Amino acid sequence: MSSTPETSIIPKIKMNAILNVLAKGYHIDKRPLLSYRQIDVIKNISPNADSSVLVKLGYTQVLAGVKIEVGQPFPDNPEEGVLIVNAEYIPAASPTFEPGPPDENAIELARVIDRSIRESKAVALDKLVLVPGRKVWVVWLDIYILDHDGNLIDASMIASIIALAKARIPYYEIDQVTGNVKIDRSKSAGLLPLNKLVSSVTIYKIGDVLVVDPTAEEEAIASASLTIAISEDGNIVGMQKRGLGTFTEKEIEQALEISLSRGKEIIETIKKFLS
């Protein structure tokens, strides 16, 4: 059951201070409204994972990791591998996060990222079959929000795509008679096959202004947000509106323009980090 979230009490004079700054066309940290903060990527934080990536977007930190295992395909997709995306907001990341199973926000984040990757066929699931109908590769993508300073979905998408692109399939041998698959994690059978990269651009509505990449302080006074996922070939591969506020048709058109140009830039940035 989903209930109206408890609103943290933000006094009008604090809100006005932020709104006044935004009205000038800049974030509080002097960045233009439609610019992203600096993106830093650190790979292989968890060597035990089949790949792991830490993304820092300003002070926001997201750690994404991949584990690839042998498993059964879904009954309605017997000729495809399986992708499972899970996300958690760890309590360390913000004074408002409580320990426990993922809440509706974490689950929504995971599903938004999952859909964008799945619908765009970014991961070549059809190339992940070991024994048709019986054994396939199961790709576990686990996203952990380590530090919350705004714009978690976009940061998580960057971490997820790089983690998937860098993931190594364990070395394996299939017994032709029994169909059993033996794996040796100390060796690799190659990279996880990706068809294309995907980025997400979340446009936030703060007052009357549309911005991207707000800090947590700014995000707290946003009335609504619209996440648009853009694939490497310029298509829209996912959309999600969040929050209690609303968008006009014109604002959605503006958001689309912003996401197409920013999305392309983010994909170029991701390519740089992959080389």
Q: Which residues pair with 143 in a beta bridge?
A: 64, 87
> Residues binding other proteins: what is the number (CB under 8 A)?
47
Out of 42, 45, 191, 209, name the contact with other proteins by CB under 8 A: 45
Q: Can you read off the two tokens belonging to residue 177?
A: 């008679």
Task: State which residue, 45 or 79, has the beta carbon closest to other proteins.
Answer: 45
Q: Does 13 bind other proteins (CB under 8 A)?
A: yes
In the complex, the smallest distance separating the C-beta of residue 21 from other proteins, rounded to whole angstroms, is: 6
Q: 234-263 mask for other proteins (x: CB under 8 A)? A: ------------------------------
Q: What is the DSSP letter of 207?
A: T
Residue 47 makes contact with other proteins by CB under 8 A: yes
Smallest distance from other proteins to CB 92, Å = 3
- Interaction of residue 185 with other proteins, rule CB under 8 A: yes
User: Rounded CA gap, 164 and 139, in Å?
Assistant: 9
Nearest of 258, 265, 239 to residue 34 by alpha carbon: 258
CA atoms within 13 A on the CB side of 77: 15
Q: Nearest CA to 212 among 260, 268, 144?
A: 260
- The correct pick among 27, 37, 135, 148 for binding other proteins (CB under 8 A) is 148
The pattern of x and - marking residues 63 through 102 that bind other proteins according to CB under 8 A reads x-xxx-x----------------x-x-xxxxxx---x-x-
- Say if CB 138 and CB 69 are below 8 A apart: yes
d(CA 179, CA 167): 24
Nearer to other proteins, 59 or 74 (CB): 59
Give me the least distance between CB of 147 and other proteins, in Å please: 5
Q: Is 149 in the site for other proteins (CB under 8 A)?
A: yes
Nearer to other proteins, 11 or 176 (CB): 11
| Least CB distance to other proteins at residue 264 (A) | 29
3-state secondary structure (DSSP) of residue 141: strand
- Residues near other proteins (CB under 8 A): 9-14, 16-17, 20-21, 24, 28-30, 45-50, 52, 59, 61, 63, 65-67, 69, 86, 88, 90-95, 99, 101, 140, 142, 144, 146-149, 185, 216
